[in-house]
Chain A
Amino acid sequence: MSPAQVFRFALAGLAANKLRSALTTLGILIGVGSVILLVAVGNGSSQSVQNAISSLGVNAITVLHTGGAVGGSGPTSSTTAFAEPQNLTTADGQALAQAQGVASVSPAVSTSVTLTYGASSDTASLTGTYPSYFPAEDDTLSAGSSFTAQEVNTAQDVVVLGSEAASDLFGTANPVGKSVLVTGVPFTVVGVLATKGASGLTSADNTAVAPLTTVQDALTGFGTLNDIVVLAKSAAVVGTVEGEITSILDRRHHETAADADFEVLNASTLLSTASSTAHTFTVLLGAVAAISLLVGGIGITNIMLVTVTERTREIGIRKAIGATPGVILAQFLTEATLLSMIGGALGVLAGIIGTRFTIVGVKPVTVPLSIPLAFGVSALIGLFFGGFPANRAAGMRPADALRYE
């Protein structure tokens, strides 16, 4: 009995119940397709986060305020022995500017605002800061100009719009010189930022930047800053500058590392945090997909058991006219493996087609290894999950099988 002949019998067996074969194949198709697609989505989101973070500029160090009341006048009482969390202030910023190796310091507050121009409005994130913020964040302007330090000192109502915020409000018209309402306060648009692209699930372009003093005056009040962006003179001194920032702020806030009310981050630490998060995300997505592949495999066992029972008499006939247990085993194993491999091949195709679309804002990036892996696992699933029913068929006693109605 040649392998080609076994293969032909298996094909005929599958063709005998096309709907059932197609549905079983669908189970594997979905499993393999989702492994490839979900791993690609995880990978794609990890890459876009990494791109966004590296676009921050490697020399930038961000001091984040943690703990304490943001925007309030500071804590009023404390029963703990720890130093009370203090506000991050412009005075802290001035102190940091004295440190060695610092090129610029940009204190910043941020808040969510509604931008309105005529009938169109848009919710965006507004940052109040100094002009040095733009080079520190690697922002460039596509139209108009930045505001000046003079405008910050005199608290002028000027704003620079992110590219997405600008197009949402003005369409293709030039916004420079127009007046927009920022949560009801009129601001004059002086410039538009160049597009930066998505960072993870949020857009880095749906933003607005205005002078720190103006934003504090009109919107956030004079509480704590949200962060201070410190630009080091070169990548080589980033580590030293980070150490200095920590010791200056610890001294100013009378704190130790244990109860610090601030956090110092740079692009590389953000990057490693983000990529480990993204890795976990990818593994989780892959695991969910692997479970669906397993369920598809159990579907194969189920349907092959039904097939074997249904064809008991046929198995009896084949055995009576000389089919050995090995040949029967081979036929049913081949049927199961064919089901899973056809499903696997279609799943690879579906997965690859799926990765061409943007899914929940993420452009999937295929992990090449996931394709042979998912396909190989699907073939093994056919062998493994088809083995039990095939063995049952091969072990049937011909006299009993022939009597089966």
Chain B
Amino acid sequence: MTRPLPRYAAGPPPEAEPPQAQPQPVIRLTSVVKTYGTGEAAVQALRGVTLDVVARDYVAIMGASGSGKSTMMNIIGCLDVPSEGQFLIDGIDTSSLDEQQLAVVRNRKIGFVFQAFNLIPRMTALANVELPLSYAGLRAAERRRRAEAALYLVGLAERMHAQPKQLSGGQQQRVAVARALVTAPSLVLADEPTGNLDTRASHDLMDVFDRLNAAGRTIVLITHEADVAAHAKRVIGVQDGRIVADRRVIEPGALPPLFGQPVHRSVRP
């Protein structure tokens, strides 16, 4: 657990990462089927999903509750493995991995942002952001440097010693974004990130996501709000465990569609 990936050794902050095209997609789902239960009681949550997401893309997955988008999020987030079909992240086939290896993949490749923020209570914002680096085995000084940089990036450098309960919902979610970024993951995976936020905090948060994507981060958003999906470069519709719509708004290499829009600026105080 003390062996950091080479990308940590190089240690470029997320913004400085060169926008090079990767030879393979960041994630690739091939005919993914996910079945819960067995026999008569079996429920197919995903019925053959095939999807590639390339680097620097900004994808919104939309669907009503029960459409299978949460199952998709679990599989893309390596929290679960497909029943059938194949899921690759950075070319790694997750079906062959055990729980220990999946944990390492989650740590190195994926940054999670949840609807319920999911910060660990009684730990300061800084300690929460350092946590993934602890599990990666980084030294204390390096952890701190990176965590401070990530908090600076989401505009919370001055609140880094606050505990989650001392922060507003919007601030907590930005701490969660910092925690998702701090390992410089291949993919930032956000599950209804604005679901528990008011309009202004939602705009602030989406602004953070836009800037991250403009700086080269690959982002997958799961949402049912059209306002949120409007920030993405590609919108995918899911229904009854299948992809029913796939709309390309703008090329992966371009700036996000609503990047720096005055509409959003005007909402800020």
A residues bordering B, Cβ < 8 Å? 1-2, 5, 12, 15-16, 313-314, 316-327, 397-399, 402
Contacts and interface: CB of A to CB of B under 8 A. Distances in A.
B198 interface: no
A314 B164 CA distance: 13
11 contacts: A1-B134, A316-B118, A317-B119, A317-B120, A321-B106, A321-B112, A321-B135, A324-B1, A325-B103, A397-B79, A398-B79
Nearest to B134: A5
Interface string B193-224: 00000000000000000000000000000000
B264 to A, nearest CB: 29
A321 B74 contact: no
Interface in B71-126: 74, 77, 79-80, 99-100, 103-104, 106-108, 112, 114, 118-123
A324 B104 CA distance: 7
Nearest to B74: A399
B60 interface: no
A354 to B, nearest CB: 36
B134 A325 contact: no
A325 B79 contact: no
Given A2-B2, A313-B118, A402-B114, A321 B132 contact: yes
Contact of A325 (B2, B100, B108, B112): B100
A313, A318, A324 — most chain B CB neighbours (10 Å): A324
A1 B79 contact: no
B118 A399 contact: no
Contacts of A327: 1, 135
Interface of B: 1-2, 74, 77, 79-80, 99-100, 103-104, 106-108, 112, 114, 118-123, 131-132, 134-137, 179, 183
- Pairs of residues from A and B, 3 with the lowest C-beta to C-beta distance, nearest first: A322-B107, A399-B79, A322-B135
> Interface residues of A: mostly helix, strand, loop or mixed?
helix
A405 to B, nearest CB: 9
Given A1-B1, A399-B80, A322 B132 contact: yes
B236 to A, nearest CB: 21
Contacts of A397: 79-80
Contacts of B121: 16, 314
Contact of B77 (A5, A15, A314, A320): A320
Given A2-B2, A16-B122, A319 B103 contact: yes
Contacts of B134: 1, 5
Nearest to B135: A322
Contacts of B114: 402
B73 to A, nearest CB: 9
A332 to B, nearest CB: 15
Contacts of B112: 320-321
B89 to A, nearest CB: 14
